[in-house]
Structure 1
């Protein structure tokens, strides 16, 4: 068995999990899993203040987990990585509170 492809996949998975293993980045991605958001919206929804917000969004951009769209002076973010999106959906199902009476 050729171990090289498995090593490559493990390296990619490890890199993704490292990016997700930060509370602020995970919170940002959780909000983005619900749809595109502007920087101002993310700040309001998450309570993460500048400059930490910019730093964490920069890391997510660097890891190619999010992409941006400019509209005038506003920058909008959305999830760019389908694997990250799938993991976030699972995490959302397992850890995010659901309103009473709704199935988890």
Structure 2
């Protein structure tokens, strides 16, 4: 292996730590569900509760965790607070997870013989 193709272990270690942080936050079903819903756009807390079925105390707690970890941002409009995905990395991971787990499988048309 030549010097140009050597792996920068310290950079990988730092990147691995960041990836672990992201995966740790995503490792909670309620947070995962919230982020999945937020891939569709901004939502206020009431709409998130309705769409996800997560009760208010849990919803607030999980949104706080997501906000503190930089996964979501907030925008105030009057009395309403709207949440949206702030992390490009989280958005990309959510898109992959959606593709792998949430899309309906394509049903191949079966040919009917006469």
**TM-score normalised over the length of structure 1:** 0.91
RMSD over aligned CA atoms reads 1.5
Q: Which runs of 5+ in 2 are unaligned?
A: 1-6, 108-114
1:6 and 2:41 are equivalent in the alignment: no
1:68 and 2:74 are equivalent in the alignment: yes
Decide which of 41, 50, 61 is 1:44's aligned counterpart. Answer: 50
Structure 1 pair 49–88 and aligned structure 2 pair: CA distance change class (3 A): same
CA distance in 2, matches of 1:7, 1:89: 25
1:86 and 2:98 are equivalent in the alignment: no
Count of aligned pairs: 101
**TM-score normalised over the length of structure 2:** 0.84
Query: Following TM superposition, by how much is the alpha carbon of 1:100 offset from its aligned partner in structure 2, in angstroms?
Result: 7.1
